[in-house]
Amino acid sequence: MGRSLKKGTGWRLGWDPDPTRTFQGLVGADDWAVELTAAEFEDFCRLLVQLADTVESIASELMPEERIAIEAESDLVWLEIEGFPACYSLRLLVLTQRNIEGNWQPEAVQQLVQLSHVFHKSHELPL
């Protein structure tokens, strides 16, 4: 499968499977984007899936008005979700020497989670 770029309202996610490229992944929103190495992109997807699974596992124990803030990180990226179990924003920091920060509004996060699940399992983005 070749290069793939998926986008929707408030988000972009891209993958180039060519291992000779330094930056194979792309994450972004409507007004910003950043390329990530394969390892950074893989960690982004893995950690986002992990955060979504955590939210799902604790949602039934929370009061409807309770807000959440949960972090996950690797050596390469740090992610934080903040909001309510059914509607939360996402923040990204790339922990390498490139000083990258990005965020997504709640309406964009669920589609990012769905595509991250697919990529985490298959290392491909669907057509």
Per-domain residue ranges for the chain? 37-122
Residue 123 has pLDDT above 80, yes or no: yes
**Would you place residue 89 in the very low, low, confident or very high pLDDT band (cuts 50, 70, 90)?**
very high
Residues 6+ apart with CB under 8 A from 126: 4, 6, 115, 118
Q: List CB contacts of 31: < 8 A, sequence separation 6 or more.
A: none
pTM: 0.95
CATH 2.40.50.180 for the 37-122 domain, yes or no? no
